């Protein structure tokens, strides 16, 4: 398996990677429509970012093509609808932007269900839970985290209700919006372009290490689904590097985060996770954290990374001890961050 181009900690500018947020002040909601509530406007703004939408569509198109799905028409329909949403928002028509963005997600939801079926819907649900769990622990740079979490919780409930009612296309659309809201929240930070470049580099370093870790932990009898997920994670990490080289840092960030999540999915099915798998991830995370903590004379960036890995490790242990199997997500991220620190 080809190793990713390594982005080492030495290439991550000090103080910019983990302390890039100058403030968590509430941003102005440009284009505010009095007929839409604040949460609805947040959803609209999360749906009209060309770079983030591009990352979303790039992943979905690859995943559907890998399954041999005839999805080109629906994906193209979604691209056109997202572009129309962005145009409407730019002209101050937030209500139309909301409608067109919803049309885009419904088209993508239909394509996803046609191509991957219930397995694909399970993946979207698990990703939404993963993103929610991630933000509960890693949210230093997210402005108005309570609002963001409230939106995510509502969208997940709506997706669950839609799935129970048999409207799986709508459920998929809600879950895709969860990803958009999280992407937007994570890039809508009060830093300049150069500093965000460093944030994107850190996300890419995590993605590359996550792919390496996934390849290392994948069992010898890995299923075709696991291998396809690993290959998708590899491609996402590659595309993140390409976007970064083209100075498209927001797109690079979004693609890298997707790679990190998909890499874990290739190894662990959270819904069916076994004690042995939890123990395996725990031991890997613990070993890597011990190795990172043993670095002699760590740089300031390395120490920040070690502190982050320790925080994630403790959060994962606490959740597992409380009976929350998704504590394994924090352990996984701890392992990845420790790998970045080790270089």
Average pLDDT of span 328-332:
92
Mean pLDDT, all residues of the chain? 86
Q: What pLDDT score does 194 carry?
A: 64
Residue 5 pLDDT more than 70?
no
What pLDDT is recorded for position 166? 97
Instruction: Answer yes or no: is pLDDT of 56 > 60.
Output: yes
Check pLDDT > 70 for residue 49. Answer: yes
Alpha-carbon span 96 to 118, nearest angstrom: 31
Is the per-residue pLDDT at 10 higher than 50? no
Please say if the pLDDT value at position 231 is more than 50.
yes
Specify the pLDDT at position 24. Answer: 39
Tell me the pLDDT tens digit for each residue of 191-229: 666 678 888 999 999 999 999 999 999 888 888 888 999
Separation of alpha carbons 100 and 269, rounded Å: 34
Q: Is the pLDDT of residue 172 over 90?
A: yes
Which of 55-69, 115-129, 132-146 is predicted least confidently? Answer: 132-146
Q: Name, in order, each residue with C-beta under 8 angstroms of 106's C-beta and a sequence gap of 6 or more.
A: 169, 170, 173
Mean pLDDT of 289-311: 93
Q: How many Å apart are CA 201 and CA 191, to the nearest integer?
A: 15
The whole-number pLDDT of residue 319 equals 92
- Segment 127-163, tens digit of pLDDT: 999 899 888 887 666 778 889 999 999 999 999 999 9
Match 């284009």 to its residue by tokens: 31
Q: What is the mean pLDDT of residues 65-69?
A: 80
The full DSSP string for 178-209 is HHHHHHHHHH--S--HHHHHHHHHHHHHHHHH
The answer on pLDDT for 16 being more than 90 is: no
pTM: 0.85
């Amino acid at each position: 398996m080809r190793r990713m181009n390594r982005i080492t900690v030495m290439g991550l500018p000090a103080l910019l990677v983990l302390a890039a947020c100058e403030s968590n002040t509430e941003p102005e909601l440009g284009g505010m429509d009095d007929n839409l509530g604040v949460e609805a406007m947040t959803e609209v703004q999360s749906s009209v970012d060309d770079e983030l939408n591009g990352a979303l569509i790039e992943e979905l198109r690859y995943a559907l093509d890998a399954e041999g799905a005839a999805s080109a028409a629906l994906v193209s329909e979604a691209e056109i609808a997202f572009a129309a949403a962005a145009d409407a928002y730019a002209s101050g028509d937030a209500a139309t932007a909301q409608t067109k963005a919803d049309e885009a997600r419904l088209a993508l939801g239909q394509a996803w269900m046609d191509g991957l079926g219930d397995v694909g819907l399970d993946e979207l649900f698990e990703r939404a839970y993963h993103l929610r769990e991630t933000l509960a622990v890693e949210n230093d740079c997210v402005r108005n985290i309570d609002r963001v979490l409230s939106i995510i919780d509502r969208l997940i409930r709506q997706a669950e209700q839609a799935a129970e009612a048999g409207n799986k296309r709508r459920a998929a659309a809600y879950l895709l919006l969860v990803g958009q809201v999280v992407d937007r929240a994570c890039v809508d930070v009060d830093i300049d372009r150069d500093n965000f470049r460093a944030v994107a580099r850190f996300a890419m370093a995590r993605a590359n290490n996550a792919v390496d870790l996934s390849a290392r932990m994948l069992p010898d009898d890995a299923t075709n689904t696991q291998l396809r997920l690993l290959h998708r994670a590899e491609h996402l990490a590659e595309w993140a590097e390409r976007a970064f080289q083209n100075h498209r840092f927001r797109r690079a960030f979004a693609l890298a985060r997707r790679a990190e999540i998909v890499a874990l999915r290739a190894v662990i099915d959270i819904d069916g996770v076994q004690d042995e798998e939890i123990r395996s991830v725990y031991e890997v995370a613990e070993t890597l954290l011990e190795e990172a903590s043993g670095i002699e004379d760590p740089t300031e960036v390395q120490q920040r990374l070690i502190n982050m890995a320790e925080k994630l490790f403790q959060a994962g242990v606490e959740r597992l001890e409380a009976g929350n199997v998704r504590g394994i997500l924090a352990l996984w991220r701890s392992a990845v961050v420790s790998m970045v620190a080790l270089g």
